[in-house]
Amino acid sequence: MSGWDRVRSSRSRLGRNSSGYGRAPSRTVTLGRVQPQAPGHRTIYCNDREANLPVRFKGNSISTTKYNFFTFLPKGLFEQFRRVANLYFLMISILSTTPISPVHPVTNVVPLSLVLFVSLVKEAFEDWKRFQNDMTINNNIIDVLQDQKWEAVSWKKLQVGDIVRVKHDGVFPADLIFLASTNPDGVCYIETSNLDGETNLKIRKALERTWDYLTPEKASEFKGEVQCEQPNNSLYTFTGNLIVQKQTLPLTPNQILLRGCSLRNTEYIVGAVVFTGHETKVMMNAMNVPSKRSTLERKLDKLILALFGTLFVMCLIGAIGSGVFINRKYFYLGLGESVENQFNPNNRFLVATLTMFTLITLYSTIIPISLYVSIEMIKFIQSTQFINKDLHMYHAETNTPALARTSNLNEELGQVEYIFSDKTGTLTRNLMEFFKCSIGGEVYGTGITEIERGLAERDGIKIQEASKSANAVHDKGFNFDDVRLMRGSWRNEPNPDTCKEFFRCLAICHTVLPEGDESPEKVTYQAASPDEAALVTAAKNFGFFFYRRTPTMIYVRESHVENMGKIQDVSYEILNVLEFNSTRKRQSVVCRYPDGRLVLYCKGADTVIFERLADGNTDIKKVTREHLEEFGSAGLRTLCLAYRDLSPEVYESWNEKFIQAKSSLRDREKKLDEVAELIENNLNLIGATAIEDKLQEGVPTCIETLSRAGIKIWVLTGDKMETAINIAYACNLINNGMKQFIISSETNAIREVEDRGDQVEIARFIKEEVKRELNKCLKEAQHHLHTVSGPKLALVIDGKCLMYALDPSLRVILLNLSLNCSSVVCCRVSPLQKAQVTSLVKKGARKITLSIGDGANDVSMIQAAHVGVGISGLEGMQAVMASDFAIAQFRFLTDLLLVHGRWSYLRICKVVTYFFYKNLTFTLTQFWFTFRTGFSGQRFYDDWFQSLYNVIFTALPVIIVGLFDKDVSASLSKKYPELYKEGMRNVFFKWKVVAIWAFFSVYQSLVFFYFVTTSSSNGHNSDGKIFGLWDVSTMAFTCVVVTVNLRLLMICNSITRWHYISVGGSILAWFLFIFVYSIIKTPKTENVYFVIYVLMSTFYFYLTLLLVPIVALLCDFVYQGVQRWFFPYDYQIVQEIHRHELDDRSRTDLLEVGNQLTPEEARSYAIAQLPREISKHTGFAFDSPGYESFFASQLGIYAPHKAWDVARRASMRTKPNLPKKN
């Protein structure tokens, strides 16, 4: 990870456009930022606790909690009051204790305390969970050397300098210096997936000097002194010295075992602790996940701001009014000479100012205090109960449910417009399976790829899953079934010799290492790429079992060759290996049969193989090419196989040149390539293989659904361009009907300049080239956009070009171009570029972005996007730890976005607008009253009414809506993905929506105030008695509570019994409250004493209670009726279409409906499938060593060992004594 930062810094050293990047991903880079080194170093005395004592190293226990028992209250409260709304209410509360206030402090204190209480309980609960988590980690057990014995102690008791033993599959409890291992040459294998998500094994090697300290007796003799750097967060660096017996030995990262990694293939190791607890590199890397806020919430802030503005205006009007009104002539107000300032007519300005404050406290209810806490609760339940427990997002194979790691972003999921996806592990399983092949012009293999199935289904054909023959073999990397080839039956095929060559080519031409037992069942193949392993596995299953490799020999156990069932071990001498690289795109092996036959086997991309074929045999070439195209469009990765018989003379003369080239000091690679050219020609085509880069389940369907929802999907991958394009085909992101723009740095012109080696010139040239390409593409894209039925556009760009395209001067063009494309594939991109592309769209296009990935290389992208999704269930945790949501499968995005995201968005929109409405309405009734009280700021409602309005009488129903409201069922949400577009356009929380609500608020509040007061002016029962202020206000309040609660029912799309209970309960709560409150004799004021009973003894009460809510809701009702009838939302139409269906019970039935196409759809699909005049995709792709070492080698960064290195090492180690023949 530190490498990323180096990428940055090295670029800026080159003086290129680094300033432009500095700003954009600033947040994301925090991950990789190497902290400044603390000066000095630490000295550790191994195995000597006393000596280490004075330094007071930190213990190994970790704590990720925010609070402890004592800091909880002060710190928690502080956190709470950092929220503007809470602080505001604190100030209002304080203000309301002064005589300025028209209301009793209780009015504001009660809601505030309730809100704080709920928030603090939530904080405490979350912190408790963190605490428990820490405890489990801290109490893990590890063997520590004590008194010449291994004692099992818990992790937290570990100290710097301790000698520990970690057993096979154990996890390192702290950062260790590797001393000794049970493996003979002091190596051990570790898995770093917890750190970086890479599952391949890495080698660590102890210093030879310490190999012996393996047993407790020996280890206790170890008295080393370690001088090393201070703790830092750079995972791949370590500098230090080990001083043993006055001998200073340098320590490198190779001797460091980091906390969190686990030991593999090694019985146990012994190590000395150097960094503990929070000082370990992995903990230093643990970032505070930058807390993201949803776009909607940011918009909500603006709304709150607008409310503050409204509040200010209202107060200002009142204040001016009060200054004008106040006058001695109102003798009954007792405005004598000694009157207090607030009412002193001599100083009207002061009166107005003080009234301003009075009114602020009076109208404080306009700011919905419980809004934030309600939303928080809703989102919390949404994520913990709905997202985490959704059975549709539970992956049974890996036993992984979905996990919402933050509850902040639920509604953001409903507005995503761009998805940035990693490829390996996300779209694909990183599992290559031999799927089909073409031998001598004949296609074998009966499987149907996912993409073919998808195509067929769209054509309306129901594909019968070809029943697998009973004896079909399924091996890891082999998913092939054809009775014509299996179990030796290939001998009956028309061309058994070609078949034999085909299988031998597979078995011989590779760089794979077998591991484990030499039996077909138990062997495992170590290969640089899973492709190769799949091919060798295929050979094994065809009866050509490659079981042993020495540096010069390959041993193959061949069956069925001569006779059915006969098995013979054949050894082939490997004379030369012409390795694979991305320019050659092929790999050859020259081998000698036991009978002396010299053959060159070659496999590679169709383009390079075909141009090196011998003349003749055009039929097979033509047929094979067709097959290749067929495979390619089915999303398979293809390789062509060819061979050439060599005469000893030809070979010998060539081999001399080869040896020369191999030993040359300058341009060795280039020379080797040139030499290879000399022999790799005149090839005979054998056939082609098709490997399925196994997609994750349901990926094409999911992508299809998402793109119907209007979401654009970009694939950002470290893979090569061919692989990336291939996967894009397989995922249906690109098809032959699309216009593809490919911007690649692998052009001859660029290569030529690169060969000259002048860095500045290269940069300039590539930049020019990229600029030209971009402009050309953009022009073409715009041309296509203007034509009505132009093809869809796709952009493919590689990392090197992207680096220049992201330059500030070109960024706009890139953005314009890519936004016009319906899919974009970026290959060969570094983690940092992934983040840059993400923020390009996030900031440049101001669209909501989602990144999904599974590995450490996706972390920056995940953090850069609005929403980060990690793929969980596999070993790597880095992506998940950085993500906001973790799901087990890419296809669960459908549920996450289209169902949960959409619902959350709808619900939160409703909750927010409703809160806005109910508080505005309530406050406005007060406002109208102010006009009739001489602007004195007299409160209309009793203190308790006002304080409980938000927290009791209208609190629960809106939460119920936030939880349960759904416009259409989950299955319909997925059936009509287009509904999702409403969220993207932010249809439900636009200023227009707010304005409509505000309008109804004003209308309703006017109805409440004027209807109730006007109708109350005369006597109200046959006793002729008259109502006073508190009677009228209680009446008005009753109307408000009833109306506001009923209004809630009107915004519901589905009404469960919880709605009834909460709405009915809220209204009932009000009546219960007032019944009790009316008979309580409070010591101070008894304004409301008996009021409700008086009211309820009159007809007036019931007549008003019927009239006012209906009048108030009439306007809304008309609006809703008209809106639905004339300007229906999409979801409303869908509701209508499915109005007779029961709820989700019939999910499976609905699926069948989903397969049927309307004639219109069928036709347009048919058009899209028509062939176009572009060369067809043939699907060549082959993984060479992964992107990381690619970048590393480019920039000179230390990169961890790759699998191939491991394998090569292993082979050297196990067979060290074989005589060299060459």
Partner 1 sequence: MNTKGATSSGGNDGNPSDSASPPPSKKNSKRPKYSRFTQQELPACKPILTPGWVITAFTVVGILFIPIGLVCLFASERVVEIVYQYEADCVPADYSNNVLAYIQSSDTNKTCTRTLTVPKYMKNPVFIYYQLDNFYQNHRRYVKSRSDTQLRSKAGEREIKNCPPEGTTKSGDPIVPCGLIAWSLFNDTYGFSLENEVLNVSKKNIAWKSDQEHKFGSDVYPKNFQSGGLIGGAKLNSSIPLSEQEDLIVWMRTAALPTFRKLYGKIEKELQANENITVVIQNNYNTYSFGGGKKLVLSTTGWIGGKNDFLGIAYLTVGGLCLFLAISFILVYVVKPRPLGDPSYLSWNRNPSGHLN
Which residues inside 182-201 make contact with partner 1, applying CB under 8 A? none
Stretch that binds partner 1, among 56-64, 1139-1147, 1174-1182, 1212-1220 (CB under 8 A): 1139-1147
Q: Which is nearer to partner 1, 53 or 785 (CB)?
A: 785
Q: Is 169 a catalytic residue?
A: no
Interacting positions 1111-1130 with partner 1 (CB under 8 A):
1111, 1114, 1117-1118, 1120-1121, 1124-1126, 1128, 1130
Contact (CB, 8 A) for 935 and 322 = yes
| Cα distance between residue 141 and residue 162, in whole Å | 14
Minimal distance in Å, beta carbon 71 to partner 1? 33
Minimal distance in Å, beta carbon 559 to partner 1? 32
Instruction: Determine whether the annotation assigns residue 329 to a binding site.
Output: no
Strand duo 41-45 + 225-229: pairing: antiparallel
1067 binds partner 1 (CB under 8 A): no
Q: Coil, helix or strand for 688?
A: strand
Among 339, 367, 372, CA closest to 354: 339
| Cα distance between residue 988 and residue 994, in whole Å | 9
3-state secondary structure 1123-1150: HHHHCCCHHHHHHHHCCCCCCHHHHHHH
Sheet of 712-716: strands edge to edge?
403-404, 885-887, 867-871, 849-853, 418-421, 712-716, 823-827, 793-798, 739-743
315 binds partner 1 (CB under 8 A): no
Interacting positions 859-888 with partner 1 (CB under 8 A):
none
Instruction: Determine whether the annotation assigns residue 854 to a binding site.
Output: yes
| Cα distance between residue 413 and residue 692, in whole Å | 32
Instruction: Determine whether the annotation assigns residue 603 to a binding site.
Output: yes
Minimal distance in Å, beta carbon 1108 to partner 1? 9
Instruction: Determine whether the annotation assigns residue 481 to a binding site.
Output: no
Kindly tell me which residue out of 562, 569, 674, 1136 binds partner 1, with binding defined by CB under 8 A.
Answer: 1136
Q: Which is nearer to partner 1, 991 or 1099 (CB)?
A: 1099
Kindly tell me which residue out of 152, 391, 665, 1080 binds partner 1, with binding defined by CB under 8 A.
Answer: 391
Phi-psi region of 1090 (alpha: psi -120 to 50; beta: other; left: phi over 0): left
Which distant-in-sequence residues (6+ apart) come within 8 Å of 44 by Cβ? Answer: 52, 57, 160, 161, 225, 226, 227, 228, 272, 274
Contact (CB, 8 A) for 54 and 33 = no
Q: How many CB atoms lie within 10 A of CB 169?
A: 11
- End-to-end, the C-alpha distance of the chain in Å comes to 42
Contact (CB, 8 A) for 270 and 180 = yes
Kindly tell me which residue out of 329, 522, 786, 1220 binds partner 1, with binding defined by CB under 8 A.
Answer: 329
1148 binds partner 1 (CB under 8 A): yes
| Cα distance between residue 682 and residue 609, in whole Å | 10
Minimal distance in Å, beta carbon 670 to partner 1? 45
357 binds partner 1 (CB under 8 A): no
Instruction: Determine whether the annotation assigns residue 1143 to a binding site.
Output: no
Interacting positions 915-944 with partner 1 (CB under 8 A):
932-934, 936-938
Which distant-in-sequence residues (6+ apart) come within 8 Å of 880 by Cβ? Answer: 403, 405, 870, 871, 872, 886
Tell me the per-residue interface mask from 687 to 706 with partner 1, x by CB under 8 A, - otherwise.
----------xxxxxx-xx-
Kindly tell me which residue out of 20, 488, 496, 1154 binds partner 1, with binding defined by CB under 8 A.
Answer: 1154
Interacting positions 786-825 with partner 1 (CB under 8 A):
788-789, 792, 822
Among 1179, 1203, 1176, 1178, CA closest to 1189: 1203
Of the candidates 143, 162, 390, 422, the residue annotated as catalytic is: 422
Tell me the per-residue interface mask from 441 to 480 with partner 1, x by CB under 8 A, - otherwise.
-------------x--xx----------------------
Q: Which is nearer to partner 1, 272 or 703 (CB)?
A: 703
| Cα distance between residue 197 and residue 202, in whole Å | 12
Stretch that binds partner 1, among 253-261, 514-522, 650-658, 965-973 (CB under 8 A): 965-973
Q: Which is nearer to partner 1, 279 or 450 (CB)?
A: 450
| CA-to-CA dists, residue 860 to 224, 811, 824, 875, angstroms | 39, 20, 19, 19
Q: Which two tokens stand for residue 278?
A: 């929070």
Minimal distance in Å, beta carbon 942 to partner 1? 12
Among 505, 577, 572, CA closest to 535: 505
Stretch that binds partner 1, among 78-86, 476-484, 651-659, 1154-1162 (CB under 8 A): 1154-1162
Strand duo 240-244 + 247-251: pairing: antiparallel
| CA-to-CA dists, residue 787 to 335, 739, 791, 792, 803, angstroms | 79, 13, 9, 11, 31
Stretch that binds partner 1, among 207-215, 281-289, 532-540, 1106-1114 (CB under 8 A): 1106-1114
Minimal distance in Å, beta carbon 96 to partner 1? 14
| Cα distance between residue 819 and residue 793, in whole Å | 10
Contact (CB, 8 A) for 886 and 456 = no
1159 binds partner 1 (CB under 8 A): no
Interacting positions 974-1003 with partner 1 (CB under 8 A):
974-976, 978, 981
| Cα distance between residue 223 and residue 282, in whole Å | 27
395 binds partner 1 (CB under 8 A): yes
| Cα distance between residue 367 and residue 85, in whole Å | 8
The site for partner 1, by CB under 8 A, has a size of 146
1053 binds partner 1 (CB under 8 A): yes
Tell me the per-residue interface mask from 83 to 122 with partner 1, x by CB under 8 A, - otherwise.
-------------------x--------------------
| CA-to-CA dists, residue 481 to 433, 444, 560, 606, 835, angstroms | 12, 8, 18, 24, 42
Kindly tell me which residue out of 659, 785, 812, 1106 binds partner 1, with binding defined by CB under 8 A.
Answer: 1106
130 binds partner 1 (CB under 8 A): no
Kindly tell me which residue out of 185, 497, 1086, 1149 binds partner 1, with binding defined by CB under 8 A.
Answer: 1086
Tell me the per-residue interface mask from 1001 to 1040 with partner 1, x by CB under 8 A, - otherwise.
----------x-xxxxxxxxxxxxxxxxx-xxx-------
Stretch that binds partner 1, among 210-218, 486-494, 671-679, 962-970 (CB under 8 A): 962-970
Give the residue ranges of the annotated binding site for ATP. Answer: 422-424, 532, 580, 603, 637, 717-719, 828, 834, 857-858
Catalytic residues: 422
**Residues at the annotated binding site?**
422-424, 532, 580, 603, 637, 717-719, 828, 834, 854, 857-858
Residues contributing to the annotated binding site for Mg(2+):
422, 424, 854, 858
